[in-house]
């Protein structure tokens, strides 16, 4: 397994797999298989995959640590960028299919509806993370500043969950919300437990 993760084809394969949800949604739209309201299905489908990729990106580090598989780290950036990619498509689909790309109406709708405001805020917080995802950005910012900036993802996660919760509240459908809440809760708890775990004292020189 570890050797496979280091294979030159591993990253291209993961890249293609990450595009499959988009391909499936596009096919569904073209083939008219998204139900009675294809615009809503497309917007929500892209939002669902945004949240799934957020969970996957957050899961890389704990899975890597607990399974002692450091090779997984090479996929974390890709999964994080795909999360941002699907969030951007989710936002674009909302602005285009729901609002007709009317900037004034979009701005008014964001301010008027709290669940959209929360989702838009999550996108704004993800934006600097995506823009600083390169090795060059790490060098320019410095490792400590870069890590502090990218901790914003732990603010994005509850905002994304709240956005999803409010979106489902209209139909009183909370089963899937509960699943994501448990997943993100476990991941955030793991992060906090590692952050506050007492560090072992340095070994004394003999």
Q: Going residue by residue through the chain (206 aa), what tens digit of pLDDT does each one get?
A: 678 888 889 999 999 999 999 999 999 999 999 888 999 999 999 999 999 999 999 999 999 999 999 999 999 999 999 999 999 999 999 999 999 999 999 999 999 999 999 999 999 999 999 999 998 999 999 989 999 999 999 999 999 999 999 988 877 778 899 999 999 999 999 988 877 776 655 555 44
Query: Which of 57, 29, 58 minimizes the C-alpha distance to 43?
Result: 29
The pLDDT score that the predictor gives to residue 35 is 87
Phi, psi of 133 (to 5 degrees): -90, 0
What is each CA distance from 63 to 8, 91, 132, in whole angstroms?
21, 30, 24
The pLDDT score that the predictor gives to residue 198 is 66
The pLDDT score that the predictor gives to residue 202 is 55
The pLDDT score that the predictor gives to residue 199 is 62
The pLDDT score that the predictor gives to residue 164 is 94
The pLDDT score that the predictor gives to residue 5 is 86
The pLDDT score that the predictor gives to residue 194 is 76
Question: What whole-number distance in Å separates Cα of residue 169 and Cα of residue 166?
Answer: 5
Question: What whole-number distance in Å separates Cα of residue 37 and Cα of residue 199?
Answer: 54
The pLDDT score that the predictor gives to residue 185 is 93
Could you tell me the residue ranges of all domains in the chain? Answer: 2-195
Token pair in block for residue 194? 């590692």
Give Rg (Cα) of the chain: 19
Angle at which helices 143-150 and 114-131 cross, to 10° = 160
């Amino acid at each position: 397994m570890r050797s496979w993760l280091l294979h030159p084809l591993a990253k291209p394969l993961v890249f293609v797999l990450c595009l499959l949800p988009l391909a499936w949604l596009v096919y569904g739209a073209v083939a008219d298989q998204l139900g009675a309201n294809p615009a809503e299905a497309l917007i929500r489908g892209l939002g669902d995959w945004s949240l799934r990729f957020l969970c996957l990106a957050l899961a890389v580090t704990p899975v890597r640590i607990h399974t002692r598989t450091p090779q997984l780290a090479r996929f974390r950036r890709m999964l994080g960028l795909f999360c941002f990619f699907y969030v951007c498509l989710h936002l674009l689909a909302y602005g285009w299919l729901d609002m007709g790309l009317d900037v004034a109406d979009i701005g008014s709708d964001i301010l008027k509806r709290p669940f959209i405001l929360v989702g838009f805020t999550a996108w704004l917080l993800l934006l600097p993370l995506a823009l600083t995802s390169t090795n060059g950005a790490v060098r320019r910012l410095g490792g400590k500043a870069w890590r502090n900036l990218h901790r914003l993802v732990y603010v994005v996660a509850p905002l994304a969950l709240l956005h999803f919760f409010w979106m489902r509240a209209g139909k009183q459908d909370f089963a899937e919300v509960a699943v994501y809440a448990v997943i993100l809760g476990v991941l955030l708890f793991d992060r906090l437990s590692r952050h506050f775990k007492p560090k072992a004292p340095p070994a004394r020189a003999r």
